[in-house]
Amino acid sequence: EMDRVTVIAPVNIAVIKYWGKRDEKLILPINDSVSVTLDTSIMCAKTSVCFGPEFTENEIWLNGVKTSFSNPRLVNVLDKIKNIAATQRSVDNAVLSWKVRVCSENNFPTAAGLASSAAGYACLVTALAKLYKIKTDVSVLARIGSGSACRSVFGGFVRWHAGVNADGSDSIATQIADSTHWPEMKALILVVSDIKKHTSSTVGMMNSVNTSDLLKYRAKYTVPRRTEEISEAILKKDFAKFAELTMKDSNQFHAVCLDTYPPCVYMTDVSHKIVEIIHAYNDMCGELKVAYTFDAGPNACLYLLDKEVPTLLKLIKYLFPTSNLDFVIGLGDVDGGDC
């Protein structure tokens, strides 16, 4: 029986966004970011890895389809893990020459701007680290695959520290609070579209770094303050403060996208309609009850406390009668259930 490791990893949705790199190869960001890890019941990635002397080439299968292993990020991740294995002598030298087979699946619309690369890379590196029996900070390995992936190696509320070191050794994720800290917190995902036609995050953020003045202001002044404030709001379970910071940060991120030249436009008319509805709802309630956030795509993630869920779902179903793609998710842990 050949060695095989299977791992599942959760999706995370940022409330303080990562946007812009200071190092493209090591994937080092220009600012800290904060995210919420969702439970794996509805969305997650699942990866199996194995190796053996009988394989003639590295192989990767994504949702059952064989894909090229030439993706440089994939190659970097595998090289890094093998280097660590060689240094730690965690496997025999002969094993290091074996080729690997990776099978990865996810149960949600890929490329719908729903953090598929984050869960995917978090899963892949955790599986490979186990296969090669290495001891290391997996968030650093995940980061080399995709920046946001380093936050998916922890459950609950997570902060990715930008770090200052050129080698990225201090650009790691840490947990702000675990998934049991604020059990009333829920995420409601509204899938506006699962069609991929926008600029990828990688290209979009590179253009922003090269052309947006607002991004420089954001990284220097806005994000450092917001990261501290939202961490405090999370620890104090201050929903109104958490919601305000989340919405403002999503809006500033999309303002940076528009300030990029040529602009990256991720939100659609429906996205903007959702923003309008959430503000109207909060105004009607007289306090902040729901927050929206949008990544590099049109789909909304709403954060709200569980007592608001029934009303919000009713409202969404009434306003968007044709949408059948909304689901509520709790906070999650790593290795926290079936996928």
Q: Which residue is nearest to ligand DP6 (CB)?
A: 147
Residue number, 46 or 254, with CB nearest to ligand DP6: 254
Residues 6+ apart with CB under 8 A from 120: 9, 45, 47, 104, 106, 145, 146, 149
- Which tokens in the block code for residue 7? 């791992």
Three-class SS of 121-156: HHHHHHHHHHHCCCCCCHHHHHHHHCHHHHHHHCCC
Q: How far is the CB of 317 from ligand DP6 (least distance, A)?
A: 27
Beta bridge partners of 198: none
Least distance (Å) between residue 306 CB and ligand DP6: 24
CA angle, 127 then 131 then 132, to 5°:
120
Q: What is the largest CA-CA distance in the chain?
A: 67
Which stretches of the chain bind ligand DP6, using CB under 6 A?
14, 17-19, 27, 33, 117, 146-148, 201-202, 295-296
Q: Are 9 and 123 in contact (CB under 8 A)?
A: yes
Q: How far is the CB of 105 from ligand DP6 (least distance, A)?
A: 19
Nearer to ligand DP6, 111 or 313 (CB): 111
CB atoms within 10 A of CB 212: 23
Instruction: For residue 200, give every residue at least 6 positions away whose Cβ sits within 8 Å of its Cβ, in sequence order, or none.
Output: 296
Closer CB to ligand DP6, residue 91 or residue 153? 153
113 vs 336, beta carbon nearer ligand DP6: 113
In the complex, minimum distance from the CB of residue 178 to ligand DP6, in angstroms, rounded to a whole number: 20
- From the CB of 95, what's the least distance to ligand DP6, in Å? 29
- Name which of 295 and 308 has its Cβ closer to ligand DP6: 295
